[in-house]
Amino acid sequence: MTRSLRDISVREFMSASLVTFAPETEIFEAIRKLVRAGVSGAPVVDQLSNIIGILSEKDCMKVALNAAYHDEMGGKVQDFMSRSPVTVEADTSILEVAQMFFTSPYKRYPVVHNQRLVGQISRSDVLKAIDTLG
């Protein structure tokens, strides 16, 4: 029996080792962590691993703008993060996530199970899933 993308779940190809931030993390510490890890963004989680936001490179541009226009340097991740991020469930099919990537500007989605952050799925992860079929 041949598998299709509909049969492959996000859980099989997601990345479970993530950079994450607490909302009270200092923004410069977060930027340093993003740069050193070579990632373009990371989930923001509370003490129970509930995802409450995303801090992206774009969000970090606000730090420079605040400094230039308002003479304000620094702050907490919660001051700059995007709230209410779009997430996917771990059991979602790769096909459904491929459709989401095709119709949105996002390059990655946080993956949740029972409302807790368990990983992240990226466009390249979907390509890896497609590659297993060929």
Report whether pLDDT(25) > 70: yes
Domain that holds residue 62: 5-133
pLDDT for the residue numbered 11: 96
| CA–CA distance, 35 with 38 (Å, rounded to integer) | 5
Q: Enter the pTM of the model.
A: 0.84
| CA–CA distance, 4 with 77 (Å, rounded to integer) | 40
> What is the DSSP-derived secondary structure letter of residue 25?
S
* Residue pair 14/93 in contact by the 8 Å Cβ criterion: no
Overall domain count for the chain: 1
The model's pLDDT over 61-83, given as tens digits with 9 standing for 90+, comes to 988 887 766 666 789 999 999 99
pLDDT for the residue numbered 31: 94
Q: For position 119, which CATH number holds?
A: 3.10.580.10
**Token duo for residue 44:** 């923001």
- In total, the chain counts a number of residues equal to 134
